[in-house]
């Protein structure tokens, strides 16, 4: 996933993050840099066609980077029928 956000000074950052989990209302992404709680983010899948707008709800430091919990903005929710990440599996599969 490409994660794009602006810092407090308005500088725009873009980084690649690994999608850990996704649900209708939000997702969890591994990030190489911290992103402030409440910060708006734009998420784009590798297919280039799947995009989400969201806000960071938590940012936890981990051994190798940060774990971002994001909540999708209204109208930008995930739908399994529209896009399903190939690397994630569930009991329903």
Quickly tell me which residue has 């280039």 as its tokens. Answer: 48
Residue extents of the structural domains in the chain: 2-72
Query: pLDDT digits over 69-87, tens only?
Result: 999 999 876 766 555 655 5
What contacts 22, CB < 8 A, 6 or more positions away? 28, 78, 85, 88
Could you report the per-residue pLDDT of 24-53, keeping only the tens digit for each? Answer: 899 999 999 999 999 999 998 887 778 889
pLDDT value for 40: 95
Determine if the pTM surpasses 0.85: no
């Amino acid at each position: 996933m490409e994660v794009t956000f602006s810092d407090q000074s308005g500088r725009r950052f873009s980084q690649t993050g690994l999608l850990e989990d996704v649900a209708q209302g939000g997702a969890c992404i591994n990030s190489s840099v911290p992103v402030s709680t409440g910060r708006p983010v734009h998420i784009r899948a590798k297919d280039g066609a799947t995009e989400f707008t969201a806000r960071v709800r938590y940012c936890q430091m981990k051994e190798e980077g940060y774990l971002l919990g994001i909540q999708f903005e209204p109208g930008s929710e995930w739908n399994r029928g529209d896009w399903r990440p190939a690397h994630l599996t569930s009991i329903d599969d």
